[in-house]
Chain A
Amino acid sequence: MNNLFIILLTSGFFTWIGWPFTKLLNKITLVERLGLSFLLGIGLGTYGWFILYRLGLPFTLSSLLLTGLLLLFLGNVLGRFYPRSIHLTISSPRPLDKLLIILIGLGLLSAFVIGSYNAITAWDSMALYDFRAHAILLNHDLRDIVDSSYYLSYPLLVSLLHASVYFFGGTNPQGLHSLMFAAFLAVVFGRVYSWTNLRLALLAVFLNLFSYELLMHSTIAYANLPYTIYLVLGFIFAVSGSGKFTHHLLFAGLLIGLSTWVRSTEIFWLIGILVIAYQGLVNWKIFLPLLSILLLLSLRYGWSGYYTKLISVLPEQPQTYGRLLSLETFTAIYHNLPKIYEYIMRYVISPFLGIWTLAVGMGIQSFRLKLRPVRILTFIIFASLAATIAGISVYSTFFATWYQIGDSARRMLMFLIPLTLIGAVLALSRFSEGNHDQTR
């Protein structure tokens, strides 16, 4: 019971420090504002905590609270200069909407109970993320973490999130992952609602909640779901950053930047930059897209710069990518082609067959019916596929065991599920009445 209280206390703390930043967004629902506050609070809170550590403060409860105060100050200053906090009210639900709300509530509650009840036992969540949290709690610094390329292989968001629960006195932070999932769904609801209507917004939440892969990950302490959450929301804000809403691009940069604070080796943030730049071009804006891209890159650099510095002095250095574009690499890829094809079919296409079919369907719809947001989402999905195929091809030339770790490719691509489901629901808006905003 004490642990549950600490989980709620920690969640309240992060929501509180993220709240002022959401004042920069106008016309969003209270549900979305709450969800976004929580996620921004976690992302910026843990990032700020790390920056203070780099500046010489140890990881303690006091330094976490100081981070919170600094972020509150920053958020309030920004909110005072750029106040935009107009709420979007939610229309009253009809019987089917009420049923969806009840099912969504039950699903989320069950996920929270399972995640909070179970001990942290999944392999990487113990050996990597939670271990680092325990070490930070014990030492108040990163000793015993920075001397191993394994412990440095992922940035610190998940570990610092766990550490914050331990500093507050909790024993099991796993329940926070399902609360992050709930916050993600709240933002999905808000985004889809602002484009369409209550029924479709609830449908988008329902489909995402009961998509199994995401639901299952919300009950374990892996980094894949937090990564998915920040990346997908970043993409969605990039898509919505058009017309009167170009300021959404700032949130796109912020959220995609925070995704690299969860997992830094994937290159999908590059697609985010492309979409932000595209939105800037079609909306004839320079300053906001540029600022957004700079924000993304600086957030990414915060960890990658630190990582590069540390890893260069380790005896067990990871593989360098210096010969990435060499003839030797291309020859090796050509040699591996049948195996690469088989791998992609088995681990990239087949596990997501329904999702790929959905993506093709929504892609055709969006181009034929000129649904602009869906078109951009389709681009993101297929650009991600292309990046994945390119990545796997290169990876196959570097590591002899590449073929044996198919499950990681599947987890890496988890973000395609919510992106496609949201895109599909937006495409469905053509067959629905009473939308708030034309998805053109």
Chain B
Amino acid sequence: MRLNKYQVIYFVTLLIALMAAFLESMSYLGFVAIHFFFPAYIWYLLASIIALVSKPIQSPLQSLLKIISWISVSVYVSLMIAESLTYPNFVYTLTHINLQGLQIFVLLIWFILLVSQDKQTDPLLRLGKNLLFAALIFVSAEGLGLSLAFLTKGITYAVSHSLDSYEDKLTKAHGGFYSAMRLVTELTPSNTLILIPPQGNPWEVEGNAPMVTYYLYPRKVENLRDQIGRSDRQVYALIAHGSWPKSGDTDYGWPKIKLSATRLWKFDVSNHSYLTYNRDYDPATDNWDWGLIEVSHE
């Protein structure tokens, strides 16, 4: 097959555009602009415009485009499924493939493939129609892949844990936090005030007043800042080591100050039980994972 000079320009531009998209899939968006002066999207635009104004291309090259298009969409969907079944950034961590870059590659190659076989002569209609079809293929393949992975994962879990009670499900979702909240509701009357750690690392959940209120309501919940103020309710303070991995300067363990108390409870959240102590709270000795202080106002 002999190529004329326009076709040579077409294929060279297309090759550069696909290479740029591929490079950015393997690195990061903006890689081409930094290392090769021209931003990648200039090449995408150029390749698309040339494809739009060119005549449909012939069989062997079209077959090659078709193969690359199908492979690329299959790889993309498989990687998206892998990501959705594991954790965010799983694909990048494992393969260094940048999914945002890869989606551009997939869209571009499908658009070029569809344009290259379309006999429509009006370039604007050609653009609209083929953008529509390329994007529909991309969106439906991505959506279907992710949805099937999501449904399979969800149904498999529901079937294999079909005998779990509602409480089992909450324990699995929130771990020790949920068990601790249940123990607090068992140990305190409903008209009391429960003091919790300040919201922030490492008390992201147990320091979140609305979240704690969800379980302890109608008890009143407040973040304790400096010192315990006056209250017309019996006051309790949660003992919380910190259930989130430490990421800042704040050390684990709360409350950090000594508190005068009538009783302390040390929780064993895995067995849903507790030990009772009739003494004051001292952070040096009572830095437990979970517990509760019945604050004395004397």
The interface of chain A, by Cβ under 8 A from chain B, is: 107, 110-111, 113-114, 117-119, 121, 123, 126-128, 130-131, 134-135, 138, 144, 150-151, 171-172, 207, 209-212, 215-216, 219, 350, 353-355, 357-358, 360-365, 368-369, 421, 424, 427-428
Could you pull out 16 A-B pairs where Cβ atoms are within 8 angstroms?
A107-B147, A118-B158, A119-B166, A121-B170, A126-B214, A210-B148, A211-B143, A353-B103, A354-B103, A361-B129, A361-B130, A361-B135, A362-B132, A364-B128, A365-B125, A424-B136
Closest 6 CB pairs of A and B: A364-B128, A361-B131, A361-B132, A127-B210, A114-B154, A119-B169
Count of chain B residues with a beta carbon within 8 Å of a chain A beta carbon: 44
Q: Does B218 sit at the interface, judged by CB under 8 A?
A: yes
| B98 → chain A closest CB, angstroms | 11
Within 8 A of A (CB), among B2-26: none
Question: Bound complex: CA of A355 vs CA of B131, how far in Å?
Answer: 11
Given A121-B170, A357-B135, A368-B128, verify A210-B144 contact (CB < 8 Å): yes
- The reply to whether A211 and B128 form a contact with Cβ atoms under 8 Å apart is no
20 more A-B residue pairs beyond the given contacts A131-B210, A362-B128, A365-B129, with a C-beta to C-beta distance below 8 A: A107-B147, A111-B151, A113-B155, A114-B151, A119-B173, A121-B173, A121-B174, A126-B211, A211-B147, A212-B147, A353-B104, A353-B107, A354-B138, A355-B139, A357-B107, A361-B134, A362-B132, A368-B124, A424-B132, A427-B132
Least distance between A220 CB and chain B CB atoms (Å): 11
**Chain A: CB-nearest residue to B133:** A361
Q: Chain A nearest CB: distance from B118 CB in Å?
A: 12
Main DSSP-derived SS at the A contact region:
helix
B interface majority secondary structure: helix
B211 contacts which chain A residues (CB < 8 A)?
Answer: 123, 126-127
Query: Is B139 within 8 A of A211, CB to CB?
Result: yes
Given A119-B173, A131-B217, verify A357-B151 contact (CB < 8 Å): no
Q: Do the beta carbons of B139 and A131 come within 8 Å of each other? A: no
Who on chain B is nearest to A143 by CB?
B218
Which residues of B from 107 to 156 have beta carbons under 8 Å from A? 107, 122, 124-125, 127-136, 138-140, 142-144, 146-148, 150-151, 154-155
B140: chain A residues at CB < 8 Å are 207, 210
Residues of A within 8 A of B131 (CB): 357-358, 360-361, 364
> Which residue of B136, B147, B213 is within 8 Å of A215 (Cβ)?
B147
Rounded to whole angstroms, the CA-CA distance of A110 and B159 in the bound complex is: 11
Check if B122 sits within 8 Å of A368, measured CB to CB: yes
User: When the two chains form their complex, are residues B136 and A358 in contact, meaning their CB atoms are under 8 A apart?
Assistant: yes
The one of A130, A219, A360 in contact with B214, judged by C-beta atoms closer than 8 angstroms, is A130
